[in-house]
Each structure stands twice: as C-alpha cells, then as structure tokens.
C-alpha cells in the first residue's frame, strides 16, 4: 500500500512532496472508474437480469483436497460458467461467466460452500486504477550520494535512513542473509533486469498470476512499460544486492522472486491473489510480501455472499502457503484508520464500480490479506520513529512496525538522507522514493528472511515468534499530533510491547542475525 494520490482506497492526502498510492499499500488502488455502474446493493451492474454480454470472473469454493466433484463441474457449465483453473488442494475454482445470476445459481448446488464475483468491471477490465508516480532519483542526486558514500557501503545507502532505523546496517556486518531463502514479492511485477535485483533474482519462483492461472513464459513476471513500478520498488527494499552499484536491501544476500498479480489496469483481483499464494506455496518460498489489498472491496464482509466467497478463497490460499512453510507479511493500509474501532466508513468500495460510503464493522469486514489469521500485519513509521501520518493502526490488529516513510515536513531524517520517503529500485535501472505501509511491509519481510537465514529449519510459527520477540518495544505516542496543529490525529492504546501503533515494536534486523 503506497502513497500517491490514491483513488481514495488508502485515502491519504499528504503535504506537498509526499507521494501517495492505492490498492497498493503503497497506496495504489484509489479512485477508479468503470464502464458500468454497480447498484446500491453492491452486486455487479447486470445482476438484475439473467444474462449479460459482459463476462465476469468468479470463485467457487468447494471442499479442498478432493478435486472438483463431477456434479459441480456440470452445474457450473449449466449455469453458463467456464472453468479457467482449479486449486484442488484448497477447493477454489476460478470461473468466467456472462450469466449475471451465475453466483446465485451455483451457491444452491450441493457441495458448493460459497461463490462470488471477484469484480464489477467486465473482462477485460474497463476500469482504470490510478498509478503512482515515484520521485525518481536524478543524476545529480546520485552523483552527490556517490561522492559522500562511506567505505563498505553501497553508493546510495546514505540516503536510506530506514536501514539504521531497524539496525540493518549493523546486521549486515554479521550476515547478509542466505541465498537459500526466497522472498516472493506478490505485487505489480518485478523488473529482474535491474542491476540491484538481478544478482538475487529467483526465476524459478517467479510467475504471472494475473488471470488466476500461472503464466511461466519468459519475463511474464515483469511490469509492463505503462504499469506500476510498485513491485520493483518493494523487491529492492527487501533484497537489493550489496554490489557497489546502487542501494542495499534489508536482506541483500537472500533471493527475491516476482509474482505478478496486478492486471494492466492496476487491480489485484481474488483469482490472481489466490494463484500468487498457491504458486509461492508450491515453489519453496520462505516469505511472501503483500503490499496491497484485494480489489474491489477495501473490506470484505462476511454477511455479503460475494464478499464472503472472496474472503474464504484468499484465506484458504494464505493458510495453505503458511502450511507449506511461508511466512506471509502484509501492509496495514494508508488511511489512518483505527482497525480496532467499532465501525469504519469505507468510501471507496467497490473501487472498480460505483463506490459509495458504507459503514462497516472491522471485526466482521476484513482488509485482505493483511487482516487474515496468521498474516503479519505491518504498520508504518517515519524517520523519527513515530507512526506515519497515514498508517492504519489498531490494538490487537497491528503486529509490528517498520519504516514506511512520511512527509519530510512531519518527520525529517538525519543527514546524509534528504527525503523522509523510502528509497527503492525502479524499472529500467533507476532508483526513486515512495512511501506507505507498502514500504514498511518489505522491511519486515526482509527481517523475517534474515531470521529464516539464521534458523533455516524454523517453521513459520517460530519465525513469527522470533520476529515479535526481537522487535524493539515502542511505547505509544501520546498525544499523537503529527502535524503539530494542536489536534490529536490518532489515539494509541496498549502497553509498550503490544499497542495499536507499533504492535510488538519496531522490527530489529540486528537481533535477527545474532539471536
């Protein structure tokens, strides 16, 4: 989840100089528009008629581990559906259909546990998500950073205030991480030709999952020329090589893979996200980073039959990935929401249709994957170690905090760093700044990779336990008046080592390689 003027999903409007995003925790999915509008009940626009010329994508959930029953296959076909692929181990079937009554019809079939449309925009998507434009590091800035570089550091490391903030610079004197550990960046795609990423790229664990079915063709995991650089930025934060060329990742000795799940229009739909987790599970990935929310709903409510199906499908996929050894790390979001509140007003869902204000109960309506059981939920801090102005929070929801940047006007880094945002790799061999919980999550994913490097046989539960135990306890910021206008901007609750702003504390890379 990144910050760049969002389509209002992670709706942050930061001061001048602060970039925002939307469905990305770097704030990529903000205000999208669609060719067809959704009615007030939230169903796809054509759901009032029996058929529509517009084909939608659906997930149909059945009992996992037994394959798709023949009578369910027949029922899907009879209802006008075409099976794209099925993930039999978790019982999730991806279907396309132009029958607007498809989901309601299939839900009545014996053995179908839930079914729902994954989108409002027709196939291919007619909606367009806002894209984030990072602040690209210019030639003069690069030259100045190189001239000021300290011996033993990569040329741009001085601009990375986030590394000493989690003691990663000290950790690198002990260990860079193991090349036997892979972190999958489930995101908008990764440019593996970047000189800081290429040395550590794991091609075998990379794929394009946009359709919900794996595409392993050469380079399919890369972002298109007009697509978001978000995934490439995240990959560099995690594992940019310590090779004397540009910046340094949190875990510069581990491998990183690209699992592309964002379509050309910038949406992260359920079928793609399920495919991404399943691919990671089946290809030996140790950690997944998830800096997005699953479109088109910011929160998926259990009492809505469509949203219930999406929630169930992604839950099954994340749990399966964890059972196969992956630690799933995700961004908390960028709207300064209290995710432990009694209610939240969601103004952006469905973001590929016609959104409207809806009041939701965050205990029953979840931001996925970040709020799913077992997933590490990451809040963002700025250069002064305070909760970022935009970061979501909530006691019992946030597990851990890490640098995600903030407006330099709010939290100014110490020299030689010049920006309060986070430096990362960009497609085409460039570097640039972004901010958001999208940037905090990869810092935690990198620390988890360092823990896995030191404890190669540790299961996910132990890696997470060490991640939390080693975090530096960070007390509530009280009062929290980040813009200094005399008004409290958020309320933190809980003790020093388990509160709503920082969870168990701020991630600690040095402890990850020494304890």
pLDDT at 290: 98
Find where tokens 């090349």 sit: 179
Q: Which two tokens stand for residue 385?
A: 């170690």
Q: Which two tokens stand for residue 52?
A: 């529509």
Q: Could you tell me where the beta strands, DSSP code E, fall in 320-375?
A: 327-331, 344-346, 358-360, 365-366
112 three-state secondary structure: strand
pLDDT at 125: 66
pLDDT at 54: 87
pLDDT in tens, 221-267: 999 999 999 999 999 999 999 999 999 999 999 999 999 999 999 99
Give, for 139, the enclosing helix (H) or strand (E).
Answer: helix 139-148
315 three-state secondary structure: helix
Residues 6+ apart with CB under 8 A from 61: 91, 92, 93, 112, 113, 114, 115, 309, 312, 313, 316
pLDDT in tens, 372-429: 999 999 999 999 999 999 999 999 999 999 999 999 999 999 999 999 999 999 999 9
pLDDT above 60 for 45: no
Residues 6+ apart with CB under 8 A from 23: 1, 7, 9, 10, 29, 30, 129, 266, 267, 268, 292, 293, 294, 295, 351
Within 10 Å of residue 425's Cβ, how many Cβ atoms? 28
Q: How far apart are CA 28 and CA 261, in angstroms?
A: 13
Give, for 168, the enclosing helix (H) or strand (E).
Answer: helix 168-171
Q: Which two tokens stand for residue 90?
A: 């978790």
Rounded mean pLDDT of 29-44? 31
Q: What is the DSSP-derived secondary structure letter of residue 316?
A: H
pLDDT at 498: 97
Q: How far apart are CA 490 and CA 479, in angstroms?
A: 8
> Binning pLDDT at 50, 70 and 90, where does residue 33 land?
very low
pLDDT above 50 for 455: yes
DSSP characters for 411-468? SPPPTT---SSEEEEETTTEEEEE-SHHHHHHHHHHHHHHHHHHSTT--HHHHHHHHH
Between the CA of residue 255 and those of 24, 211, 403, 447, 462, what are the distances in Å? 22, 25, 21, 13, 21
Q: For residue 512, which of 208, 226, 188, 177 has the smallest C-alpha distance?
A: 177
pLDDT at 50: 42
258 three-state secondary structure: strand
pLDDT at 1: 64
Rounded mean pLDDT of 274-278? 98
- Are 30 and 346 in contact by the 8 Å Cβ rule? The answer is no
pLDDT at 42: 36
pLDDT at 458: 98
> Binning pLDDT at 50, 70 and 90, where does residue 170 land?
very high
- Are 431 and 156 in contact by the 8 Å Cβ rule? The answer is yes
pLDDT at 124: 80
> Binning pLDDT at 50, 70 and 90, where does residue 40 land?
very low
pLDDT in tens, 68-115: 999 999 999 999 999 999 999 999 999 999 999 999 999 999 999 999
Q: Which two tokens stand for residue 43?
A: 């169903």
Q: How far apart are CA 463 and CA 172, in angstroms?
A: 19
How many residues are present in the chain?
515
Q: For residue 41, which of 233, 305, 410, 413 has the smallest C-alpha distance?
A: 305
Between the CA of residue 470 and those of 403, 509, 510, what are the distances in Å? 16, 9, 9
Q: Which two tokens stand for residue 49?
A: 């008629």
Q: How far apart are CA 134 and CA 24, in angstroms?
A: 13
Higher confidence at residue 104 or residue 16?
104
Range scoring the smallest mean pLDDT among 47-51, 74-78, 257-261, 314-318: 47-51
User: What is the SS3 string spanning 17-50?
Assistant: CCCCCCCECCCCCCCCECCCCCCCCCCCCCCCCC
Q: End-to-end CA distance of the chain, in Å?
A: 31
pLDDT in tens, 120-163: 989 886 666 656 689 999 999 999 999 999 999 999 999 999 99
pLDDT at 130: 59
Give, for 293, the enclosing helix (H) or strand (E).
Answer: none
Report whether the peptide linkage leading into residue 479 is cis, meaning its omega lies within 30 degrees of zero.
yes
pLDDT above 70 for 312: yes
- Are 38 and 358 in contact by the 8 Å Cβ rule? The answer is no
pLDDT at 35: 29
Asked whether the CA dihedral 160, 166, 168, 173 is positive or negative, the reply is positive
- Are 352 and 120 in contact by the 8 Å Cβ rule? The answer is yes
Within 10 Å of residue 506's Cβ, how many Cβ atoms? 22
pLDDT above 90 for 66: no
pLDDT at 129: 61
Report whether the peptide linkage leading into residue 468 is cis, meaning its omega lies within 30 degrees of zero.
no
CA angle 22, 28, 34 (to 5 degrees): 75
Higher confidence at residue 17 or residue 208?
208
The pLDDT mean for the chain works out to 91
318 three-state secondary structure: helix
- Are 251 and 245 in contact by the 8 Å Cβ rule? The answer is no
Q: How far apart are CA 422 and CA 475, in angstroms?
A: 23
Q: How far apart are CA 29 and CA 8, in angstroms?
A: 8
């Amino acid at each position: 989840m990144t910050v760049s003027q969002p389509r209002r999903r992670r709706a942050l409007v930061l001061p001048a100089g602060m970039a925002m995003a939307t469905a990305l925790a770097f704030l990529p999915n903000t205000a999208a528009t669609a060719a067809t509008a959704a009615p007030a009940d939230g169903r796809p626009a054509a759901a009032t008629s029996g058929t529509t010329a517009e084909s939608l994508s659906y997930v149909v959930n059945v009992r996992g581990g037994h394959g798709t029953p023949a009578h369910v296959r027949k029922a899907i076909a009879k209802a006008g559906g075409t099976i794209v692929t099925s993930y039999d181990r978790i019982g999730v079937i991806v279907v396309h259909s132009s029958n607007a009554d498809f989901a309601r019809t299939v839900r009545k079939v014996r053995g179908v546990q839930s079914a729902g449309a994954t989108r409002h925009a027709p196939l291919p998507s007619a909606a367009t998500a806002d894209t984030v434009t990072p602040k690209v590091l210019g030639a003069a800035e690069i030259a100045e950073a190189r001239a000021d570089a300290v011996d033993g550091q990569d040329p741009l490391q001085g601009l990375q205030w986030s590394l000493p903030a989690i003691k990663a610079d000290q950790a690198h004197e002990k260990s860079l991480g193991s090349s036997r550990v892979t972190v999958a960046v489930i995101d908008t795609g990764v440019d593996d030709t970047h000189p800081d990423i290429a040395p550590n790229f794991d091609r075998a664990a990379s794929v394009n999952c946009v359709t919900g079915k794996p595409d392993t063709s050469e380079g399919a995991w890369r972002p298109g020329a007009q697509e978001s650089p978000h995934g490439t930025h995240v990959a560099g934060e995690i594992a940019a090589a310590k090779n004397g060329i540009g910046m340094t990742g949190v875990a510069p000795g581990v491998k990183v893979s690209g699992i592309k799940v964002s379509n050309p229009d910038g949406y992260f739909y359920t079928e793609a996200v399920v495919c991404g987790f399943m691919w990671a599970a089946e290809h030996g990935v140790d950690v997944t980073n998830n800096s997005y929310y699953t479109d088109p709903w910011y929160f998926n409510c259990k009492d809505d039959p469509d949203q219930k199906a999406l929630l169930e499908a992604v839950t099954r996929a994340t749990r399966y990935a964890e059972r196969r050894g992956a630690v799933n790390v995700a961004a908390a979001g960028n709207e300064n929401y209290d995710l432990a509140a009694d209610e939240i007003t969601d103004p952006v869902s469905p973001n590929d249709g016609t959104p409207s204000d809806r009041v939701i109960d965050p205990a029953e309506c979840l931001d996925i994957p970040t709020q799913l059981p077992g997933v590490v939920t990451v809040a963002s801090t700025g250069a002064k170690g305070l909760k970022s102005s935009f970061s979501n929070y909530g006691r019992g929801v946030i597990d851990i905090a890490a640098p995600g940047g903030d407006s330099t006007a709010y939290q100014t880094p110490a020299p030689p760093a010049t920006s309060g945002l986070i430096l990362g790799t960009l497609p085409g061999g460039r570097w640039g700044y972004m901010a958001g919980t999208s940037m905090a999550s990869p810092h935690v994913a990198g620390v988890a990779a360092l823990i896995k490097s030191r404890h190669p046989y540790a299961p996910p539960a132990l890696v997470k336990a060490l991640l939390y135990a080693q975090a530096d306890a960070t007390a509530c910021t009280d009062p929290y008046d980040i813009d200094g206008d005399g008004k409290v901007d958020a309320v933190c609750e809980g003790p020093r080592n388990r509160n709503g702003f920082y969870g168990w504390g701020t991630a600690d890379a040095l402890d990850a390689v020494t304890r």
